[in-house]
Amino acid sequence: MERRNFLTTLLARVGAPLAALVPFLPAARAEAASKAGDPAWKLSPAEWRKRLSPAAYAVLRDEGTERPNSSPLNKEKRSGTYVCAGCRLPLFSSKTKFESGTGWPSFWQPLPNAVATKTDFKLILPRTEYHCRRCGGHQGHVFNDGPKPTGKRYCNNGVALAFVPGG
């Protein structure tokens, strides 16, 4: 059952007058990925499927979420750079990675001009989604419960990243 229909049915059954608000709720599914910031990365779904694994496609292009604790990048401790798995744009330095306990690789700051954000209503309440600035691939969500100095937690899907050791 679609979320909108589920909410309408649930609210109607409990007699809540809020059911009238359901038509104003955001759609259950956001448009796939964000628009590419670089025209060279405006690829068709078929072109993306050729470049990405099915798991990476589900996250980067369909804004999915991988299972927590499923990424080997959670345990990555070497110095290096985390790049977008779609277009290889550098997104995070290993110097900003921290253990958040959430089951996903987490960072307190992206590299300059690496990510863009938009508001995501998929869980009804607004969240801040971030994506690769160049190809528009979905990376994860940013929260205000991270460590100093930024207080941010960029919670990233590991399958949306690749790690480049060094530097």
Statement: residue 166 has pLDDT above 50: yes
Mean per-residue pLDDT over the chain, rounded: 84
pLDDT digits (tens, 9 = 90+) for 59-74: 999 999 999 999 999 9
The residues annotated with a catalytic role in the active site are: 155
Tokens for 76? 């990555």
Tokens for 130? 């971030």
pLDDT digits (tens, 9 = 90+) for 8-33: 333 334 343 333 333 333 333 444 67
Residues 6+ apart with CB under 8 A from 164: 80, 81, 82, 83, 90
pLDDT digits (tens, 9 = 90+) for 80-119: 999 999 999 999 999 999 999 999 999 999 999 999 998 8
